[in-house]
Amino acid sequence: MPDNRGVAYMGPGAVEVQTIDFPSFTVQDGPGVPQENVGRECHHGVILKIVSTNICGSDQHMVRGRTTAPEGLILGHEITGEVVEKGRDVEFLDEGDLVSIPFNIACGRCRNCKQQDTGICLTVNPERPGAAYGYVDMGGWVGGQAEYVMVPYADFNCLKFPDKAQAMEKILDLTMLSDIFPTGYHGCVTAGVGPGSTVYVAGAGPVGLAAAHSAQLLGAAVVIVADLNEARLKQAASFGCETVDVSKGDPKDQIEQILGVPEVDAGVDAVGFEARGHGEHASEEQPATVLNSLMDLTRAGGKLGIPGLYVTGDPGASDEAAQEGSLSIRIGLGWAKSHSFATGQCPVMKYHRDLMQAILNDRAQIAKAVNAKVITLDEAPQGYDDFDKGESVKFVINPNGLVKS
C-alpha cells in the first residue's frame, strides 16, 4: 500500500504536512467525523492519486481560527486526480481516468440532488444538509490536499475529462472546476448577469477574480472589481476589469466615475463574513459591510449573488451576535428596492461540464485570471502564509509532481 501525506489544520495560524492513512472505502473515525458516519461503507467510491489540489479562501477562514474546525482536520476541497482504484459498485469510471471533483459531496439520489441542488445533499452529512472534503461541519470527509483521497458516489460526482493528454496541457485551468470557477460563475448567474450588464464584484481574491472572468464570459458590458488590496486590484485590471479601491471611501462615488451613474445592474459578494469597512473604517472588521453596500449600489429590481462564505460559528468575531452568524443587515433597503438574494454553496455540478468545454475550447482562461501558481505539498504551509498576507495568487498544490511548473 502506498504512503500518503496530507495538509493538516493544527490550530489558529498553523498547518503542517503529516503522514496520514491511505484512503479506504470505509469512513474511519477522525477529526470532525460524525459518529453516524463512522464505518460508512463507500463501495460506490474511487481512490484518486491527486494531480492538483488548490488552497481556497474558505480554507483560510479555518486556518485563521475563524471557524470551529477541529485540530487534525486534513484540508482541501478543490480536487483533480487520477483514478487508481475503484469500488465494487462503480460502473462508469476506470483506473487511469482523469477527473475533476466538485467540492460538494453529493449522493445523486436524494430529493435535493435530483433537483441539481447538490450543495445541500440530504444524505452525506448526518448533522446538516451539505458536505465537502476537508471542511468544518461538512461531514468529516478527509480532504484532498494530500497525495491520495477517496471520493464517494464516484459515478455521480466525478467529471471525467474526455482527453487525458489535452486535459494535462490545460490542467491549471481545469483544476479551477472543482470550486472557484463554478462558484464565481454561480455568483454571476444568480445575480442576473447577462449580455450588456454592468456588474460590481466585491472582493478581488480568487473567487472574486473568477466571478469577474465569469461575468465577462456571460457578456457583461462592464465589470467593476472592488478590494482594499492593491496587488489584487492590479490583477483584476490585467484582464480588462475596472477597479474600485474601497479604502478610499464609498464605492458608489467611484462607480459613478466609471459608469456615469452610481448603480450597477448586478452585485456579487465574493468577500463573506471577514469583510472590512470602507473608507476610514477600512482597517476595521465589519462583517455586514459588503452586503449592505451591495444593496445600496445595485439598482432597484437588481439581484445579488452571494458566493462569499458566511458561517454559523465564528469564534473570532468582534461581537456575540456575529459569533453565531447574526449580522446587522439593512434588509429594509433590499426589500424597498425589490432585490433578489441568492446564498449558499455553489452546486458545482450545475455548471462544471459547460465550463470544462469553455476551457477545452479556449473560451475561458481562468488560470490566468486568478494568477495560478504551482507549489509542492511541502510548500503548502508557506502558501497558506503568503495567501493570508494578501498575495494575489491562486496556489495550486502539486503533491505527486504531475503538474508542470
Question: Cell numbers at residue 72, please?
Answer: 487534525
Alpha-carbon gap, residue 72 to 251, rounded angstroms: 41
- Decide if 349 is inside a domain: no
For residue 189, being part of any structural domain is answered with yes
Same domain? 326 vs 371: no
Q: Are residues 219 and 326 in the same domain?
A: yes
Residues 56 and 121 in one domain: yes
SS3 state of residue 226 = strand
> Is it the case that residue 405 has pLDDT exceeding 80?
no
Q: Which pLDDT score, from 0 to 100, does residue 1 have?
A: 60
Hey, what's the cell of 344? 449558499
In DSSP notation, 331-373 reads HHHHHHTT-EEE-S---GGGTHHHHHHHHHTTS--HHHHHTEE
Pair 127, 171 in one domain: yes
Question: In which element (H, E) is residue 164 found?
Answer: helix 164-169
CATH number at residue 243: 3.40.50.720
Q: How far apart are CA 119 and CA 112, in angstroms?
A: 8
39 and 150 housed in the same domain: yes
Check if the beta carbon of residue 192 is closer than 8 Å to that of residue 315.
Answer: no
What is the structure's pLDDT at 299?
Answer: 98
Identify the CA nearest to 341 among candidates 367, 319, 310, 315.
Answer: 310
Q: Please report the pLDDT score of residue 293 as a whole number.
A: 96
- Residue 282's pLDDT is 85
Average pLDDT of the chain? 96
- What pLDDT, on a 0 to 100 scale, did the predictor assign at position 304? 98
The backbone torsions φ and ψ at residue 265, rounded to the nearest 5 degrees and listed phi first, read -80, -30
Percent of the chain with pLDDT over 90: 91
Q: Is the pLDDT of residue 231 over 90?
A: yes
Residue with cell 500518503: 4
Q: What is the pLDDT, as a whole number, of residue 319?
A: 83
Q: 188 and 165: one domain?
A: no
Question: Are 337 and 267 spatial neighbours (Cβ–Cβ below 8 Å)?
Answer: no
Q: Report the C-alpha gap between 316 and 370 in whole angstroms.
A: 28
User: How far is residue 156 from each of residues 99, 151, 275, measured CA to CA in Å?
Assistant: 12, 10, 35
Domain count within the chain: 2
299-308: average pLDDT:
97
Instruction: Examine the domain organization and report whether 126 and 192 are in the same domain.
Output: no
In a domain, 241, yes or no: yes
Q: How confident is the model at residue 76 (pLDDT cuts 50, 70, 90)?
A: very high
Spatial CA neighbour of 244 closest among 232, 255, 234: 255
Residue 2 has pLDDT above 80, yes or no: no
Q: Looking at the domain assignment, is residue 351 inside a domain? A: no
Take residue 135 and report the three cell numbers written for it: 471542511
Amino acid 97: pLDDT: 98
- Does residue 337 sit in the same domain as residue 375? no
The sign of the CA dihedral 130, 136, 137, 139 is positive
Please give the pLDDT value at position 115.
Answer: 96
Residue 133, φ and ψ in degrees, nearest 5: -80, 135
Note whether 160 and 183 are within 8 A (CB). no
- Helix 206-217 × helix 180-190 angle, to 10°: 60
Statement to judge: residues 153 and 36 lie in one domain? yes
Q: How far apart are CA 85 and CA 91, in angstroms?
A: 12
Is 347 contained in some domain?
Answer: no
Same domain, 16 and 152: yes
Distance CA(164)–CA(64), nearest Å, equals 37
DSSP 215: H
- Burial degree of 326 (CB within 10 A; 0-12, 13-18, 19+): middle
Predicted local distance difference test score (pLDDT) of residue 402: 97
Cα separation, 57 vs 370, in Å, equals: 12
Task: Quote the Cα angle for 369-351-97, to 5°.
Answer: 90
CATH code: domain of residue 137: 3.90.180.10
Q: What is the mean pLDDT of residues 58-80?
A: 95
Task: Sort strands 98-101 and 79-86 into parallel, antiparallel or unpaired.
Answer: antiparallel
Same structural domain for residues 264 and 393? no
Assess if residue 247 is contained within a domain: yes
Show the domain range for 168.
Answer: 5-179+366-397
286 part of a folded domain: yes
Q: Find the helix packing angle between 251-259 and 289-297, rounded to 10°.
A: 30
Classify residue 348: in a domain, yes or no.
no
d(CA 360, CA 29): 39
Give the model confidence (pLDDT) of 278-290 as tens digits.
988 888 888 899 9
CA distance 399 to 49: 9
> Quick one: cell of 142?
478527509
Same domain, 120 and 169: yes
Calculate the CA 38 to chain-centre distance. Answer: 27
pLDDT band at residue 207 using 50, 70 and 90 as cut-offs: very high
